[in-house]
């Protein structure tokens, strides 16, 4: 985080009956930052978002916005707006009145409302839609009206609950860029909740990875991907091969995988310690001949730009390897794989 924090979540815990939704969660969101809460369903990310919006009360800890403790402040008094997952557009109001709803609650005059709504429609590129009824809009248009409505009151923080979840794949990618662009122009802090890692990686300045009510790691997308803090993060963000093995200090430092010894410069772990190596599919090189670990192509899946292979090796689940599509490997072919020294991330202990 490069700017000063606008939102601080401090040691927040929340349980629903016997279910722990959040356990001592702390994080900070910077001014003008695009922050993502990423995790599988049930990880507590939605609870955390509802807690920031004021729809849930923490059992312990507090939420601080721009230096002010929000405890006891009801949702309608928080300068935070939320874009709901199902959009929650008011079906009995048209586009104009939906976007103007928050402004009117603040007592804005007729002219101010009209001016501000026009500006919002321009930002989300829906000029001329003010008089439309909600049921006349397409999914993508509804999404943009929901965004405009949440931005209209000029919140210091915008929460977005799975904002692109209801859109189809192609529209989702286009909208990602628009969302990022709008955020950059308005310089409002965005907190997005998503279970889609591609979305989080593409949009966010920083990501918090959550699991079972805990924050596993917070960092920029690159760092999360390249230097995952633990096995869960490595497995959850991006595809990976998790290889179980041991450390050997016999004549250097090695990670001993079932199929061979891999050189490591990392000397933190003692000789004989159990460890796991997380290797991304593109970190494994594959050749038809030469040195390297022998393997057999088990399966080939064409993925457009790249081709995904499953390579059977000794004593190990088949490895996922990606290679250029021109390579033209076929199932049953004998190949050699090569893993560069220090490739991937090493975790101590075993599963």
> Considering the complex, what minimum distance in angstroms separates the CB of residue 114 from other proteins?
17
> Considering the complex, what minimum distance in angstroms separates the CB of residue 263 from other proteins?
54
Residue among 91 and 128 whose Cβ is closer to other proteins: 91
Residue among 154 and 235 whose Cβ is closer to other proteins: 154
C-alpha span between 136 and 53 (Å, rounded): 29
Residue 262: CB atoms within 10 A of its CB come to 21
> Considering the complex, what minimum distance in angstroms separates the CB of residue 101 from other proteins?
5
Q: Which residue has the tokens 């722990």?
A: 20
C-alpha span between 112 and 292 (Å, rounded): 70
DSSP 133: B
- The answer to whether the beta carbons of residues 243 and 300 sit under 8 Å apart is no
> Considering the complex, what minimum distance in angstroms separates the CB of residue 180 from other proteins?
23
Residue 77: CB atoms within 10 A of its CB come to 10
How far CA 291 is from CA of 286, 288, 335, 339, in Å, comes to: 11, 10, 10, 11
C-alpha span between 47 and 21 (Å, rounded): 7
Q: Which of 1, 20, 88, 202 binds other proteins (CB under 8 A)?
A: 88
C-alpha span between 51 and 338 (Å, rounded): 48
Closest-CA residue to 319 (of 335, 302, 341, 305): 335
Residue among 54 and 213 whose Cβ is closer to other proteins: 54
Name residue 217's beta-bridge partners: 209
Residue among 62 and 261 whose Cβ is closer to other proteins: 62
Retrieve residue 166's tokens: 């209801």
135: left (phi over 0), alpha (psi -120 to 50) or beta: alpha
> Considering the complex, what minimum distance in angstroms separates the CB of residue 155 from other proteins?
9
Stretch 139-168 residues interacting with other proteins (CB under 8 A): 149-150, 153
C-alpha span between 224 and 245 (Å, rounded): 23
Stretch 89-128 residues interacting with other proteins (CB under 8 A): 89-92, 101-102, 105-106
Residue among 102 and 238 whose Cβ is closer to other proteins: 102
- The answer to whether the beta carbons of residues 192 and 35 sit under 8 Å apart is yes
Residue among 54 and 221 whose Cβ is closer to other proteins: 54
- Give the total of residues touching other proteins (CB under 8 A): 26
> Considering the complex, what minimum distance in angstroms separates the CB of residue 59 from other proteins?
16
Binding map of other proteins across residues 48-87, x = CB under 8 A, - = no contact? -----xxx----------------x-xxxx--xxx-xxx-
> Considering the complex, what minimum distance in angstroms separates the CB of residue 39 from other proteins?
21
> Considering the complex, what minimum distance in angstroms separates the CB of residue 319 from other proteins?
41
Residue among 88 and 242 whose Cβ is closer to other proteins: 88
Residue among 11 and 77 whose Cβ is closer to other proteins: 77
> Considering the complex, what minimum distance in angstroms separates the CB of residue 84 from other proteins?
5
17 binds other proteins (CB under 8 A): no
Q: Which 3 state secondary structure label does DSSP give 125?
A: coil
Name residue 243's beta-bridge partners: 277
Residues that bind other proteins (CB under 8 A): 53-55, 72, 74-77, 80-82, 84-86, 88-92, 101-102, 105-106, 149-150, 153
């Amino acid at each position: 985080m490069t700017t000063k924090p606008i939102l601080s979540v401090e040691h927040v815990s929340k349980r629903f009956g016997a279910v722990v939704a959040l356990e001592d969660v702390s994080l900070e969101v910077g001014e003008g930052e695009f922050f993502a809460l990423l995790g599988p369903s049930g990880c507590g990310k939605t609870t955390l978002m509802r807690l920031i919006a004021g729809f849930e009360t923490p059992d312990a800890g507090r939420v601080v916005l721009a230096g002010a403790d929000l405890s006891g402040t009801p949702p309608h008094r928080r300068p935070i707006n939320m874009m709901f997952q199902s959009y929650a557009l008011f079906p009995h109001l048209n586009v104009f009145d939906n976007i103007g709803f928050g402004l009117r609650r603040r007592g804005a005059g007729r002219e101010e409302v009209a001016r501000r709504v026009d500006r919002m429609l321009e930002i989300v590129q829906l000029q001329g839609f003010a008089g439309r009824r909600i049921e006349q809009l397409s999914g993508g248009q509804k999404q943009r009206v929901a965004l405009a409505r949440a931005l209209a009151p000029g919140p210091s923080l915008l929460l977005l609950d799975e904002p692109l979840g209801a859109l189809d794949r192609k529209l989702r990618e286009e909208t990602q860029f628009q969302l990022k662009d709008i955020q950059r122009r308005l310089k409002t802090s965005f907190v997005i909740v998503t279970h889609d890692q591609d979305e989080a990686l593409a949009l966010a300045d920083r990501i918090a990875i959550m699991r079972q009510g805990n924050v596993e790691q917070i960092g920029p997308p690159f760092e999360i991907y390249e230097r995952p803090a633990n096995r869960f993060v490595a497995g959850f963000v991006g595809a990976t091969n998790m290889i179980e093995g041991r450390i050997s200090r016999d004549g250097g430092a090695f990670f001993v995988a079932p199929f061979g010894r891999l050189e490591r410069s990392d000397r933190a772990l003692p000789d004989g310690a159990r460890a796991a190596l997380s290797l991304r599919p593109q970190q494994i090189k594959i050749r038809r001949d030469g040195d390297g670990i022998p393997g057999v192509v088990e399966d080939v899946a064409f993925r457009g730009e790249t081709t995904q292979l499953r390579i059977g090796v000794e004593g190990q689940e088949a490895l996922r390897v990606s290679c250029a599509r021109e390579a033209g490997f076929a199932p049953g072919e004998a190949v050699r794989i090569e893993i560069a020294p220090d490739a991937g991330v090493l975790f101590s202990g075993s599963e």
